[in-house]
């Protein structure tokens, strides 16, 4: 337990703050709509489902604001760069951006469900009181008419007793945008399950662009002002605490209570999402701008096991170790951008990627380059974006584990370490770097070209970890993995087990690449 | 886009629609909304759709991740033969099932989602896709998935380092308990995290 805390305290804190804010916003809005006098008459018709709907709406606004931020990769790279003085733990948080994006998405789904269910009850109650003829306060309030000279002192959006809730849903802006947003959300979620992403990435990528409809829908969802509260002036003429009882006598000559007047809110969702939307638009513009820059392919190498190496040049391109780029090949697909780790070192005068055939797009790419008679396809590049491998040099001892094509980030690191040793770089803290490449093909590493001891088969991690722990008893060891989930579990367990509780003794920090 | 199996997405969408139908149905029935009996229908339809769609079909290319515990339903769904294998039938079935739920606001979302799933199934059917059950793993595959106990020592596997290095390693390690390196015969599916 202690080791878990050491490795994860910042994540836990961050999530606790996020959850706490969600709970706070929910409860705050709930109490406001449940207790405020302004909504007394509204509650008379709707009951507690009003407060439920509004509370979940506020949480939806909050989370919709947050959801775009973790995928603004340039923003994250910028934060990582400016925060170089920050502790490693803080910067590691930025690697979990996709996890956070998913968590926020789940929260949005949860609050969407609460919001819709609450509004179903709201519409049902509005409809019922509109049709009621029992002369109750609720039915009187429902009957306050629309389209009066004051601009509508109405409370109930259902204008006549034979108007159905379905009609109101599909003819009001709030209802229609709500349906569109929810369907977009559901389609995004079903195409984004892990199975779909791994098997059919294009379906996920294209469908996920439905978020545009979600954002647009959210921005105009509240325009109709369907949620009504009593106006200030009306509260002076008809305060609920004094006048609610005597509702049959409103507007009578001898009564001092007038009929209440209601107004809707102006929409407020756009205020929440405006800044992230602008940031994200910048990100896409930046991607487009970068895609227009010329990429010169200097060398193409076809490796065994259908691995294609592309060495390229681009003006103004500079990278750090282990960063990744997004690559687009217009002749294969105009809109698809796929991430690849850079396998070259920053010290080299080109940058390279190794691409393995793992789906439609990669197979088409390899096929396009295999044809020697036709001209080389054009490539567009966006990036580089930083991931955890940048931190490798901050550890005294680095343990790099790569499985299959997952060796690519570490290729870059090892080459860079080699160059740094050559040039006598004093900033290099790393004294020892061990590389386990779980790679069944050749004795010479196909990626780096370095002759090194490559271990074949499955290592006994406990042995490896205890050896390192005993030979470096006071060091901070960074364990870096790019590989499958099962391997991540074993390594993470070993990191916890072999990290000493005493922060001065050996500490294993586990870092995992994820795309 | 050439090799997308649309049926896989249709399956996810239909499963989600089933859950949405159940939820909408419960809300309508519990809240005793007008015409709440459509809600009761929606619960039944939702349960049926979920049961039908829970067992994921086998992918034509590559390995398929089974859903937890799906083999029980796979056995049942398999029994209906062509009725469940054919995606045209599924498309029509889902479309018909979705219609009654469209009369109630609480369940109309389920209708829309199931109708979309029906459309995707139609696309899958047009492209000649079929539902194939995922059979339980064969003994050979099952053995490979386990630890090293069942492994037979290969006589001359490709990835071994040259003989001198092996002899040297064995001499220095002094018979370490390390498992012998073995090549996998099963195609390795890369699940890069």
Q: Identify the residue among B180, B189, B193 best suited for mutation to test binding to A, counting A beta carbons within 10 A and taking the highest.
A: B193
Pinpoint the alpha helices (H) of B34-145.
37-53, 71-79, 82-85, 87-101, 105-126, 139-145
Q: Which residue in B has a C-alpha nearest to residue A198's C-alpha?
A: B191
pLDDT at position A179 = 95
A426-to-A393, A421, A429 alpha-carbon distances in Å = 11, 9, 8
Q: Which residue in A has a C-alpha nearest to residue B111's C-alpha?
A: A183
B183 pLDDT above the threshold of 50: no
Could you give the CA distance from residue A501 to residue A478 in angstroms, rounded to a whole number? 16
Low-confidence spans in chain A with pLDDT less than 70? 1-7, 83-92, 146-152, 386-391, 424-459, 512-515
Contact B192 A515 (CB under 8 A): yes
C-alpha B66: how far from its chain's center?
A: 5
Better-scored residue on pLDDT, A388 or B132: B132
**Torsion angles phi and psi, residue A493, rounded to 5:** -60, -45
> What are the tokens at A431?
């004294």
Better-scored residue on pLDDT, B177 or B98: B98
Contact B4 A512 (CB under 8 A): no
Q: Identify the residue among B57, B105, B185 best suited for mutation to test binding to A, counting A beta carbons within 10 A and taking the highest.
A: B105
B89 pLDDT above the threshold of 60: yes
Is the Cβ–Cβ distance between A447 and A354 less than 8 Å? yes
> What are the tokens at A408?
């690519």
Could you give the CA distance from residue A475 to residue A467 in angstroms, rounded to a whole number? 13
B170 to chain A, minimum CA–CA distance in Å?
14
Contact B116 A183 (CB under 8 A): yes
pLDDT at position A402 = 78
What sign for the dihedral angle of Cα A89, A92, A93, A96? negative
- The three-class DSSP label of residue A128 is helix
pLDDT at position A351 = 92
Could you give the CA distance from residue A513 to residue A96 in angstroms, rounded to a whole number? 9
pLDDT at position A443 = 45
Q: Identify the residue among A174, A199, A335 best suited for mutation to test binding to B, counting B beta carbons within 10 A and taking the highest.
A: A199
Could you give the CA distance from residue A439 to residue A455 in angstroms, rounded to a whole number? 8
What digits encode the pLDDT tens for the residues B98-108?
999 999 999 99
For the whole model, what pTM was predicted? 0.79
pLDDT at position A189 = 95
**Torsion angles phi and psi, residue B33, rounded to 5:** -70, 170
> What are the tokens at B57?
């079909």
Could you give the CA distance from residue A513 to residue B8 in angstroms, rounded to a whole number? 27
Residue with tokens 């309508």: B28
B12 to chain A, minimum CA–CA distance in Å?
6
Q: What angle do CA A299, A343, A336 make, to 5 degrees?
A: 80
What digits encode the pLDDT tens for the residues A229-265?
888 888 888 888 888 888 787 777 777 788 888 888 8
Better-scored residue on pLDDT, B42 or A260: B42
Say which of A124, A202, A405 has its CB closest to residue B4.
A202
A120 to chain B, minimum CA–CA distance in Å?
6
Contact B190 A358 (CB under 8 A): yes
Say which of A120, A440, A483 has its CB closest to residue B193.
A483
Lowest mean pLDDT of A130-139, A241-250, B11-20, B175-184, name the range.
B175-184
Burial of A302 (0-12, 13-18, 19+ CB in 10 A): exposed
The residues facing A512 across adjacent strands are A481
Q: What angle do CA A310, A316, A318 make, to 5 degrees?
A: 65
Edge to edge, what strands does the sheet with A507-512 contain? A432-438, A397-403, A476-482, A507-512
- Which residues does chain A have within 8 Å of residue B7's beta carbon, measured at their own beta carbons? none
Q: Identify the residue among A114, A120, A167, A170 best suited for mutation to test binding to B, counting B beta carbons within 10 A and taking the highest.
A: A120
- Which residues does chain A have within 8 Å of residue B108's beta carbon, measured at their own beta carbons? 166, 179
Q: What angle do CA B118, B120, B125 make, to 5 degrees?
A: 90
Phi-psi map region of A276: left, alpha, beta (phi>0 left; psi -120 to 50 alpha):
alpha
B113 pLDDT above the threshold of 80: yes
- Which residues does chain A have within 8 Å of residue B192's beta carbon, measured at their own beta carbons? 403-406, 482-484, 515
B192 to chain A, minimum CA–CA distance in Å?
5
B51 pLDDT above the threshold of 60: yes
Contact B192 A187 (CB under 8 A): no
pLDDT at position B92 = 95
- Which residues does chain A have within 8 Å of residue B154's beta carbon, measured at their own beta carbons? none
């Amino acid at each position: 337990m202690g080791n878990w805390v050491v490795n994860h305290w910042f994540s836990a804190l961050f999530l606790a703050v996020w959850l706490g804010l969600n709970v706070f916003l929910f409860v705050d809005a709930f109490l406001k709509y449940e207790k405020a006098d302004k909504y007394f008459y509204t509650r008379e018709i709707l009951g507690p489902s009003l407060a439920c709907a509004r509370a979940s709406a506020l949480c939806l606004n909050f989370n919709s604001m947050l959801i775009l931020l973790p995928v603004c990769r340039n923003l994250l790279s910028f934060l990582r760069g400016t925060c170089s003085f920050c502790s490693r733990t803080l910067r590691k948080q930025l690697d979990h951006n996709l996890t956070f994006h998913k968590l926020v998405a789940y929260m949005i789904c949860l609050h969407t469900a609460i919001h819709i269910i609450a509004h179903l009850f709201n519409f049902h109650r509005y409809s019922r009181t509109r049709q009621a003829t029992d002369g109750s306060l609720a039915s009187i309030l429902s009957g306050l008419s629309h389209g009066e000279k004051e601009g509508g002192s109405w409370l109930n959006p259902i204008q006549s007793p034979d108007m159905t809730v379905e009609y109101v849903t599909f003819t009001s802006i709030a209802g229609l945008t709500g349906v569109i947003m929810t369907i977009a959300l559901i389609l995004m979620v079903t195409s984004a399950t892990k199975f779909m992403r791994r098997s059919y990435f294009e379906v996920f990528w294209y469908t996920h662009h439905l978020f545009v409809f979600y954002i647009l829908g959210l921005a105009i969802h509240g325009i109709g002002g369907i949620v009504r509260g009593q106006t200030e002036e009306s509260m002076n003429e008809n305060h609920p605490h004094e006048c609610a009882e005597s509702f049959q006598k409103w507007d009578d000559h001898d009564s001092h209570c007038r009929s209440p007047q209601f107004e809707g809110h102006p929409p407020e969702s756009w205020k929440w999402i405006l800044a992230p939307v602008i940031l994200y638009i910048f990100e896409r513009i930046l991607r487009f701008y970068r895609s227009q820059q010329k990429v010169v392919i200097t060398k193409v190498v076809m490796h065994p096991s259908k691995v294609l190496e592309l060495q390229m040049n681009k003006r103004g391109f500079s990278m750090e170790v282990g960063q990744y780029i997004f690559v687009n090949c217009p002749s294969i697909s105009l809109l698809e951008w796929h991430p690849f780790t850079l396998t070259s070192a920053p010290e080299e005068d080109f940058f390279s990627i190794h691409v393995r055939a793992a789906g439609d797009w990669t197979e088409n790419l390899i096929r396009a380059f295999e044809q020697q008679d036709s001209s080389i396809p054009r490539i567009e590049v966006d990036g580089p974006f930083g991931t955890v491998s940048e931190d490798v040099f901050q550890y005294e001892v680095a343990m790099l584990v790569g499985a299959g094509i997952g060796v690519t980030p570490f290729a870059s690191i090892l080459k860079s370490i080699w160059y740094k040793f050559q040039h006598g770089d004093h900033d290099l803290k790393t004294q020892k770097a061990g590389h386990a490449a779980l790679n069944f093909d050749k004795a010479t590493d196909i990626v780096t070209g370095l002759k090194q001891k490559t271990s074949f088969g499955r290592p006994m991690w406990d042995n490896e970890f205890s050896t390192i722990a005993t030979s470096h008893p006071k060091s901070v060891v960074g364990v870096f993995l790019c590989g499958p989930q099962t391997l991540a579990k074993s390594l993470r367990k070993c990191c916890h087990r072999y990290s000493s509780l005493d922060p001065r003794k050996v500490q294993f920090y586990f870092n995992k690449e994820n795309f | 886009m050439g090799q997308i199996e649309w049926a896989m997405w249709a399956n996810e969408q239909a499963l989600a629609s089933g859950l949405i139908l159940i939820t909408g149905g419960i809300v309508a029935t519990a809240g005793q909304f007008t015409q709440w009996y459509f809600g009761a229908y929606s619960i039944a339809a939702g349960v049926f759709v979920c049961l039908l769609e829970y067992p994921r079909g086998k992918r034509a290319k590559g390995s398929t991740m089974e859903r937890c515990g799906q083999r029980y339903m796979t056995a049942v769904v398999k029994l209906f033969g062509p009725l469940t294998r054919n995606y045209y039938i599924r498309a029509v079935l889902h479309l018909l099932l979705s219609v009654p739920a469209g009369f109630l606001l609480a369940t109309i979302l389920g209708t829309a989602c199931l109708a979309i799933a029906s459309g995707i199934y139609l696309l899958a059917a047009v492209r000649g896709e079929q539902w194939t059950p995922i059979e339980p793993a064969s003994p050979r595959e099952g053995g490979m998935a386990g630890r090293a106990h069942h492994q037979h020592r290969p006589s001359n596997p490709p990835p071994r380092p040259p003989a001198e290095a092996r002899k040297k390693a064995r001499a220095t390690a002094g018979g370490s308990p390390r498992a012998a390196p073995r090549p996998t015969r099963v195609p390795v599916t890369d699940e890069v995290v």
